[in-house]
Copies of this chain bind each other. A is one copy, B any other.
């Protein structure tokens, strides 16, 4: 008997429509390096969601690459990034940003998030120029690493502060679909485009085989952008592969949003069922991650049929676990999990 994995949202391949599009287009010849027709169509579709912002859009293969290219293309050598301690670039990318020469100024997260107060503190504590690197770029992830979501007022406050202080606002959107589709979110893609200087829309964790769409909103950051993608190894010869996927994600079916809403709904159902069974959640579930607190004996039993991370101990006999749902999680998987869960 095989187990079902709630480990992450990148355990499966991709939405079947993407594979179908690959099949249909396979032998059609296209220009390389992102100048193919599919990439153009995908860019136009994404652009149509950006409100009045005229952005430059580029596709790269991975989230770490998106962060490397975005950050290193924006900064001069002495400029630093402000990020929360749990930020993906801080603890999950093997020093990728420092490898491009830039300091990360780390601040404590508040519910996973960067706040104006934390930013102000970082600016005040890093003002002894030129002995200190110059804070210049704000990095935040939406959804955050712990699955929380920035509200529109929160994003506006950060963006306003950024503009006042001459800072670039960069949004890591590895799970932007989950964030914008959350019940907790009142922001749209157009809001993100109007508030951030540069951001990216994650495909890998949203039902694509791979690929992230970098969206450069601030005109001053657009010049020569493709050089950075090429130099960092982020430009694919068969750029069509990325283009066709985002064409499908943002095509008439709006798969990007429907898949994200589905994943969130599966998480919500898990959370509701776990609560009904009498267990607490260590945090409210805002996107596609659920953090229940379960007795260790129950956890052991559940591990017979399901894969998930044991996040941290919660007293001597209980632990927090993390359950992640995805576009590919079916309702029957959720039902199976809940049916195995004994009442508290």
Pairwise interchain contact A32-B13, C-beta atoms closer than 8 A: no
Chain B, residue nearest A125 (CB) = B91
Pairwise interchain contact B133-A229, C-beta atoms closer than 8 A: no
Interface mask (A72-102 → B, CB under 8 Å = 1, otherwise 0): 1100111010000000000111111011111
- Nearest Cβ on chain B to A93's Cβ, whole angstroms: 7
Task: With A101-B101, A235-B62, A241-B210 as known contacts, state yes or no: A94 contacts B230, CB within 8 Å.
Answer: yes
CB contact between A238 and one of B13, B16, B32 (< 8 Å): that residue = B13
- Nearest Cβ on chain B to A262's Cβ, whole angstroms: 14
Tally of contact residues, A, Cβ under 8 A: 78
A22 to B126, CA, bound (A): 35
- Nearest Cβ on chain B to A90's Cβ, whole angstroms: 9
Tallying the copies of this chain within the complex gives 4
Pairwise interchain contact A238-B101, C-beta atoms closer than 8 A: no
A3-11, A137-145, A152-160, A278-286 - interface stretch: A3-11
Pairwise interchain contact B227-A78, C-beta atoms closer than 8 A: yes
Chain B, residue nearest A131 (CB) = B92
Pairwise interchain contact B27-A94, C-beta atoms closer than 8 A: no
Pairwise interchain contact B232-A233, C-beta atoms closer than 8 A: yes
A113 within 8 A of B: no
A228 within 8 A of B: yes
A127 to B12, CA, bound (A): 26
Residues of B within 8 A of A68 (CB): 232-233
A residues adjacent to B (C-beta < 8 A) = 4-5, 8, 10-14, 16, 19, 22-23, 25-32, 60-68, 72-73, 76-78, 80, 91-96, 98-104, 106, 126, 128-134, 204-205, 209-210, 224, 226-238, 240-241, 328
Q: A204-B237, A209-B238 are in contact. List 8 more A-B contacts (CB 8 A).
A: A13-B240, A61-B236, A62-B235, A68-B233, A77-B100, A78-B231, A99-B232, A134-B224
